Structure 1
Amino acid sequence: METGKKVVILLEAFLALMVLAALLLMLQGKNGQDLVKVSVIVQNSDDAQWAAFKYGLKMAAEDQGIEVFIANTGGSTLTVEEEKNLIEWEIDNGADAVIVQPVPETGAEEMLKKFEKRVPVMLVGSTASKDRTLTKLPVTEPDNYAMGTVLAEELLADYNGKVDGKTIGIFSETNDSEAANNREKGFRDRLADTQAEITWTVSGHSGEAKENSLAAQPEVNFVVALDDDSLTAAGEESAANNLHGAVVYGIGRSTEAVYYLDTDHVKCLVVPDEFNVGYQSLTKTAESLKRHFHKVQGETVSHKVLRRETLFSKENQEIIFTMSQ
């Protein structure tokens, strides 16, 4: 081979190495000196029920050395179009990934999958599709079916399984999400071999409707609330003696929910580990950003049963602490 050709080949190889080195330096800069930014979008982000979740995000951000930004969504419920616009705005303003509580509406899955082609997307709390077998997006959430089952088991245990002829009302914020559906299914399936009667199911309450809907329902022996908003509304109605003596069981994640348990207006509280929902969702997202071509992985977190008599035991202190941060 002629000397001139050797020089050209060596020069091209050198330039290729320089380009590769520059690319690696850019990537290292992104993962090192310039903080990676992850935006978080959840409904009613200022609500107290997100306290433990936010604390988990904060701790994970410190451990991973990344910046986390929680979008202010106010008190109104986002639509699919509004969530789409908000995600678009976050990405346009530097978000390298997004953590999203999916809107329980048709089209949410398709909308979020389009964004996944641009940045990593992690869901929290629920899948975007009502049928979780159809979802293609990673999600960090508690086992919603198991929480519904546990709620029924706790009720049965309190009455030694003797609930024949007892009436139950189910109260939830929505019946359109995978989380709500699986919580209710878990509860119903566990009671299927009893003679307890589920008299009514109420969902979609908000604002004034939330305050009045429970008192307007027929009298029942038990009110079962499947989310924090519903649980605190039921606790409030119980405190006001508007439930005609119905005993409240539910799923909650706020200090307000714990307050109603402590004041005996809620009999039993099942609490998802929201700290770990925040911590794991951000950690998994950070891993995908730092390890290129690494697919985001979801996570299932645990839950805990709280009772008034053991509320302030040592084993329960940690989960209550995270709610108050």
Structure 2
Amino acid sequence: MKDSRRVFILIEVTLAGILILVTAAMLREYRGREPDRIAVILQEPDASRWAAFKYGLRAAAEDAGVDVLIVSAGEQPDAGEEETALEREIVNGADAVILQLHPDGGTVGLLERIDGRVPVMVTGCPSFAKEGVSAAATGPDNYAMGAALAEELLADCGGSLAGRTVGLLSDMAEAEEGKDRESGFTGALKEAGGTVAWSVQNSGQDGWEELLEAQEPVDFVICLDDSSLVAAGKEAGANNLHGALVYGIGHSTEAVYQLDMGNAECLVVPDEFNVGYQSVTEVARRLQSRFYDMKDTTVSHIMLYRETLFSRENQELLFSMSQ
């Protein structure tokens, strides 16, 4: 009996020793392993509208222990250029990709062609159609932001727009997001009267002044994205909008400046910090476990007003936009 007990104890000690050795070897391997690398492909990544988003990327990368590399797809890339940039990053060893939704609708086809090669997260529009591909999406509720803009306009007009006209302005670079925002805005105005006199888009940094000059005068210019808000704000500040009031969606320091200068009545701001943070967090979880299914994430938005712009509750938001 004593011999059996000794054998049992000897086996336990041996197994414990093996476990310690295996654990130590795994730890050495983990510590010597390079962090996973996530490539983030953006149009004009140095533009200020990406500041809060990139701040969120960096914060999440530090928390998750991954490396993030921000890559430019060009100033106005088409779907082919975007795919070239993505292929290049995969060949160069990217373990996952975070991709800006392309305005011409080519993103879904691109996702179908690379599906399964690396995990992919799409930013900007959680509601975009992506059936049949494994990519996830992170972004604000664009329909809700458009509706919030309409509700604010209606509140300022006493609940009715009868006899008044509206112009809608947007940037081609955010065309997919703009569709939902426009639907949300016009849907909330159905019973309020008023007329949408025009809906126009521009592409790139130039040409906004000429585009707005070519439109008939309206009572309100509704800007569906950051670039159009900044452009319309500048034109309002120069008295080139025939007295039209500007309402819009934006998330850059330039957009906040237009609000602060009184060139915009209010600003709907999506939480771009969390778009970046949640995108990296979900991708990092997928890289840690091949069995993890990345989830679509919808982030919040808030309304900014000139009168309370620099209040304590807005300080964290303004800080993230300036990073």
TM norm structure 1: 0.87
In 2, Cα distance between equivalents of 1:208 and 1:54: 24
Change (3 A) 1:223 1:146: same
Deviations 1:91-138 (A, max 9, x none): 111100000002122432021232231000000002595x57787631
Shift in alpha-carbon separation, 1:41–1:175, aligned structure 2, 3 A = closer
Cα offsets for 1:30-77 (capped at 9, x unmatched): 797311000001111110000000000000000001100000344x21
AA in 2 matched with 1:272: P
Structure 1 Cα separation of the partners of residues 132 and 184 of structure 2: 19
Work out the CA distance in 2 between the residues paired with 1:31 and 1:119.
23
Q: Match of 1:97?
A: 96
Partner amino acid for 1:103?
H
Check the 8 A contact 1:60/1:279 in 2, yes or no. yes
Change (3 A) 1:32 1:146: farther
Q: SS of the counterpart of 2:246?
A: strand
Q: What residue is the counterpart of 1:169 in the other structure? A: 167
1:113 counterpart letter in structure 2: E
Q: Is the 8 A contact 1:56 1:275 kept in 2?
A: yes
Cα gap change, 1:29/1:217 in structure 2, threshold over 3 Å: closer, same or farther? Answer: farther
Q: Distance in 1 between matches of 2:222 and 2:133?
A: 28
What TM-score do you get using the length of structure 2 for normalisation?
A: 0.88
Q: Do the aligned residues in 1 keep the contact of 2:250 with 2:268 (CA within 8 Å)?
A: yes
CA spacing shift, 1:149–1:60, aligned 2, 3 Å? same
**Partner of 2:152 in structure 1?**
154
Instruction: Give the Cα separation in 1 of the matches to 2:109 and 2:271.
Output: 28
Cα 1:79–1:205, aligned 2, differ >3 Å: closer, same or farther? closer
2:126–2:297 CA contact under 8 A, matched in 1: no
Distance 1:178 1:263, change over 3 A: same
What one-letter code is carried by the residue in structure 2 that aligns with 1:257? A
- The answer as to whether partners of 2:124 and 2:177 remain within 8 angstroms in 1 is yes
| CA drift at 1:310 | 0.7
Specify the SS of the correspondent of 1:214: helix
Does the C-alpha gap of structure 1 residues 33 and 134 become closer, same or farther in structure 2, counting only changes over 3 Å?
Answer: closer
Question: Which residue matches 1:197?
Answer: 195
2:70 match: 70
- Aligned counterparts of 2:126 and 2:104: Cα–Cα separation in 1: 11
Listed one character per residue, the Cα deviations across residues 149-203 of structure 1 (whole Å, up to 9, x for unaligned) are: 0000001111211321110000011298431110000000000001111100011
Letter of the aligned partner of 2:117 in structure 1?
Answer: R
Alpha-carbon distance between aligned partners in 2 of 1:186 and 1:133, rounded to the nearest angstrom: 23
Q: Which position in structure 2 is the counterpart of 1:5?
A: none
**Distance between the aligned counterparts of 2:179 and 2:99, measured in 1?**
19
Q: 1:175 and 1:44, CA in 2 relative to 1: closer, same or farther beyond 3 A?
A: closer
Name the structure 2 match of 1:85: 84
User: Against the structure 1 CA distance between its residues 245 and 120, is the aligned structure 2 distance closer, same or farther, given a 3 Å change threshold?
Assistant: same
More moved, 109-118 vs 183-192: 109-118
1:142 aligns to what?
A: 140
Q: Which residue of 2 aligns with 1:57?
A: 57
Aligned residues: 301
1:268 maps to 266
Name the CA shift for 1:221/1:181 in 2 (closer, same or farther; >3 Å). Answer: same
> Which residue is 1:10 aligned to?
none
Moved more, 265-274 or 155-164: 155-164
Q: Quote the Cα distance in structure 1 between the aligned partners of 2:160 and 2:248.
A: 20
2:156 and 2:220 map into 1 onto residues whose CA distance is 12
Is 1:101–1:126's contact at 8 Å kept on the other side of the alignment? no
8 Å Cα contact 2:122-2:136 kept in structure 1: yes
